[in-house]
Homo-oligomer: A and B are copies of this chain.
């Protein structure tokens, strides 16, 4: 019993300061989302297993955490699978529920299940944890938060434009205004595949291109050829996706190179419309990057990825999907959304020291406890401070001064207030500013206004 307790690999405890900083990121995002009319939903951590299975590919299915049925679960399982010790086959018989793997599939399920309660286009955000039985490594956890914002039930490209504005607002407010927003369009990629004679290999092509940051153009080329794609086509496609630079110019060059590929023209027109709908301040952060593919198969139009010069991987990504709710029986609902990488944003902000200094795991004011009578008076003074919005606490025990001051120091309290026997008698307090070390005598009557002046 007395062994040192621990938590499962890949999960984390958050200490107060971390927790407050995370809260700051979420509150900032939430406030921006709401300013654009997006509203929150919450879905249960546990979904029915068959809601999740088959939605993330074979590999994904293996990473879903299944919840063991309660009670005598073995009595309902098939003898055959038990005898064969077939763990995988048995798991669906002994677990009806699983932990959500992302927020996208639960969102689709939510929209279909609650469609009669919703007004469309439905603009929602959702900030909740997800769980994946992935191999833990630096920056990759088994429990982590996703922060998704989507609109469903509208084809308009204004939605894409709005999402880019939202992203820009959030990052500006977090002090990360120097992001680069890379966009692409699946239809352009599909047109490039067509004009390179690779239409039959579209998925293999996008999966390979998706790795360009990791394995380079040559690596992508080799992978495509290894997978049986015709070499001439591979070369042509790779030449096209390498086009880069100012978006409108790039589109022009591309237009000359993919003549006849209808789908590509459609995609280019979409990109143009999106760019024109953006305010200048956002547009200048946008790059058209034809190498942006994003492996996820459900994307059908715009693809979005946000990067920051001081961070190696993307901190936000998303795109347009034309039939997400189809898997649950509701067709014809186009949607578009992005997901903020909360953990990465946290790490980046921490590295760049961007969290407001006011985020402290502490009250602003601590009253030293000199004994019962003095503490009683401090309780009243603390209540007065709180009523003016100043967080304040009274040290609960009449401990040694040194211990109480160490507590104030460790927590990062800004002001320590002392009411000793003498001060109690003559209605005074000694106020110590922890940053400057200055100490001042202040009448109890004037304490609140003095502290307000010091701290605000």
Seen from chain A, the residues whose Cβ lies within 8 Å of a Cβ on chain B are 1-8, 11-17, 19-20, 22-23, 34-37, 39-48, 51, 62-63, 65-68, 70-75, 82, 85-88, 90-91, 94-97, 99, 109-110, 112-114, 117-121, 123-124, 129, 131, 133, 142-143, 151, 154-156, 158-159, 161-162, 165, 169, 276-277, 279, 327-329, 361-363, 366, 369, 375-376, 379-380, 383, 386, 389-394, 396-397, 407, 410-411
Is the pair B37, A109 in contact by a Cβ cutoff of 8 Å? no
Complex CA–CA separation, A380 to B7 (angstroms): 49
Contacts of A119 in B (CB 8 A): 407, 410-411
Q: Which B residue sits closest to A151, measured CB to CB?
A: B396
Is the pair B114, A391 in contact by a Cβ cutoff of 8 Å? no
Complex CA–CA separation, A109 to B441 (angstroms): 43
Complex CA–CA separation, A1 to B326 (angstroms): 9
Complex CA–CA separation, A415 to B72 (angstroms): 57
Q: Contact check: which of B5, B113, B158, B327 meets A379 at CB < 8 Å?
A: B158
Is the pair B394, A96 in contact by a Cβ cutoff of 8 Å? no
Q: Which B residue sits closest to A42, measured CB to CB?
A: B14
Complex CA–CA separation, A151 to B7 (angstroms): 22
Is the pair B36, A16 in contact by a Cβ cutoff of 8 Å? no
Contacts of A87 in B (CB 8 A): 71-75
Q: Which B residue sits closest to A363, measured CB to CB?
A: B37
Interface of A is mostly: mixed
Complex CA–CA separation, A226 to B90 (angstroms): 46
Copies of this chain present in the complex amount to 2
Q: Known interface pairs A3-B329, A35-B391, A396-B158. Does A67 touch B70 (Cβ–Cβ under 8 Å)?
A: no
Contacts of A156 in B (CB 8 A): 396-397
Residue contacts A-B, CB under 8 angstroms, 12 given: A4-B113, A4-B329, A7-B44, A14-B42, A14-B43, A15-B118, A36-B386, A45-B143, A62-B70, A70-B133, A119-B407, A158-B369
Complex CA–CA separation, A369 to B155 (angstroms): 14
Q: Contact check: which of B13, B113, B161 meets A114 at CB < 8 Å?
A: B13
Contacts of A85 in B (CB 8 A): 74-75, 82
Given contact pairs A8-B48, A158-B369, enumerate 8 new A-B contacts (beta carbons under 8 Å). Answer: A5-B113, A5-B329, A15-B117, A20-B39, A46-B131, A74-B90, A119-B407, A121-B397
Complex CA–CA separation, A282 to B45 (angstroms): 38
Is the pair B44, A68 in contact by a Cβ cutoff of 8 Å? no
Q: Known interface pairs A74-B87, A362-B37. Does A327 touch B411 (Cβ–Cβ under 8 Å)?
A: no
Q: Contact check: which of B5, B67, B71 meets A68 at CB < 8 Å?
A: B67
Contacts of A68 in B (CB 8 A): 65-68, 91, 94-95
